[in-house]
Amino acid sequence: MNHFRRSALVYSLSAAGLFLAGGYTFAQDMAGKSSGAMRLVSIGGSLTEIVYLLNANQELVGVDTTSIYPEAATKLPNVGYARALSSEGILALRPSQVIATEDAGPPTVLKQITDAGIPLAILQSNYKFGGVIDRVQKIGSLIHKTDAAKDLANKINLEWKKTQQQVANSKVKKISVLFILSQNPTQVMVGGQKTSADAVIAYAGATNAITGFNGFKPLTPEAVIASNPDVILMTDQSIKAVGGIDGVLRFPGIDKTTAGKQKKIVSLETMYMLGFGPRMPAAVADLNKLLQQAMN
């Protein structure tokens, strides 16, 4: 979710003779066309979901820890956390193609992969609906599933139109939402502007209770109280880690907010809500419903 490493990543890839125009290089696009079955490693849960929906999962030989959907992906060899990869684990799988989002790293590992002659495609991970469609099309081209990618993009577009209509007809425009990322009840780590949380809140029709900074940052109890959200949003994993709603209310300052006093706390699964993968229209629709229910 953090894009602060992007410049270093682009530099490292450029040094290796790659570029990010369109998300992958011509050489990578041609790789594998005459070498038989592709051996694909997917680093990024949203990318893995796309591969499965394009019916190319038989070519997957490895995934990262964020690839938890569909469940079958969790049975594949795991190459570790996307931002802390090890080249040894990836190279051991003998991939003929690696796909990753801009969050992948560190840059030294990515360079080791390309230095080994393995095509590496870095796809942009912007938090926009158009980015979802772009990633579907890019992956379809990379794995030679362009027709399937076109069909999937059309399906996602139809789902998105329904979601937009639902949001337009809902009454959540005046709702302010505070997204809490932290699983440590002594510190409130929240999502500011230019985050996946900020984007999904806006798409669901509400407003982010936090303004004035980008990224994820800790808030003081006073700042939490001042934000005074109508609803608190968390991931299922985080809310479980802190012991449910009672645990959330123990975060400093939360019990003094409107959302805390009224226990208006909602959650969704992390990758489903924040991954901006092919399930993004459904996730936005579900969040919109949760916000409506919280305010009734």
- For the chain, 296 residues long, give each residue's pLDDT as a single digit of tens: 444 333 333 333 333 333 333 333 333 333 444 446 899 999 999 999 999 999 999 999 999 999 999 999 999 999 999 999 999 999 999 999 999 999 899 999 999 999 999 999 999 988 999 999 999 999 999 999 999 999 999 999 999 999 999 999 998 888 999 999 987 778 889 999 999 999 999 999 999 999 999 999 999 999 999 999 999 999 999 999 999 999 999 999 999 999 999 999 999 999 999 999 999 999 999 999 999 999 88
CA distance 280 to 155: 12
**Tokens coding 161:** 């139109």
- Give me the pLDDT at residue 36, please: 63
Find all residues with CB under 8 Å of 123, minimum gap 6, and list them.
23, 24, 44, 47, 99, 100, 101, 102, 134, 135, 138, 139
Q: Whose CA is closest to 283, among 108, 127, 90, 98?
A: 127
The answer to whether the CB of 176 falls within 8 A of the CB of 233 is: no
CA distance 210 to 229: 9
- Give me the pLDDT at residue 3, please: 40
Burial 110-133 (b: 16+ CB within 10 A, else e): bbbbbeeebbbbbbebbbebebbb
CA distance 67 to 82: 10
Q: CA separation (Å) from 175 to 192, 221, 267?
A: 16, 21, 16
Angle, helix 129-142 to helix 146-169, in steps of 10 degrees: 170
- Give me the pLDDT at residue 24, please: 36
pTM: 0.86
- Give me the pLDDT at residue 182, please: 82
- Give me the pLDDT at residue 174, please: 86
Question: Where do the domains of the chain lie, and which CATH numbers do they carry?
Answer: 6-159 (3.40.50.1980), 171-295 (3.40.50.1980)
- Give me the pLDDT at residue 11, please: 33
CA distance 48 to 52: 6
Burial 141-177 (b: 16+ CB within 10 A, else e): bbbbbeebbeebbeebeebbeebbebbeebebeebbb
Classify residue 14 as left (phi > 0), alpha (psi -120 to 50) or beta.
alpha
